[in-house]
Amino acid sequence: AVLMCRGKAMQDFKGPDCRFVNFKKGEAVYVYYKLIGKSTELWAGSVGSDFGYFPKDLLEINHNYSNEELELPTDVSLIC
């Protein structure tokens, strides 16, 4: 996976299930995929050693690594 950007969590987030990554306000979040299709509000990335989906609106981007946008169809599901 190509690291696309890094952001800072603007608020706490706890996902509804194990496909989501949880974070606390102020934590660094690394973005690897921007989802297309039904879930355009979700991105996928990592916080520490955890990887999963999260709402893109909760992230303040502070560093872009790649101009190449990797988009995944939303029917690609993470295995829990």
Of 11, 10, 7, the C-alpha closest to 47 is: 7
State what percent of residues in the chain have pLDDT above 90.
Answer: 60
Predicted confidence at residue 19, as pLDDT, reads 93
- Is 22 contained in some domain? yes
Residue 13 sits in a domain whose CATH number is 2.30.30.40
Name, in order, each residue with C-beta under 8 angstroms of 68's C-beta and a sequence gap of 6 or more.
2, 4
Q: Distance between the two ends of the chain, CA-based, in angstroms? A: 18
Q: What is the pLDDT of residue 10?
A: 98
DSSP 8-state code for residue 10? S
Residue 28 lies in a domain: yes
Provide the pLDDT confidence category of residue 52 given band limits of 50, 70 and 90. very high
**Residue-range definition of the domain harbouring residue 10:** 5-64
Output the pLDDT for position 35: 77
The structural domain count of the chain equals: 1
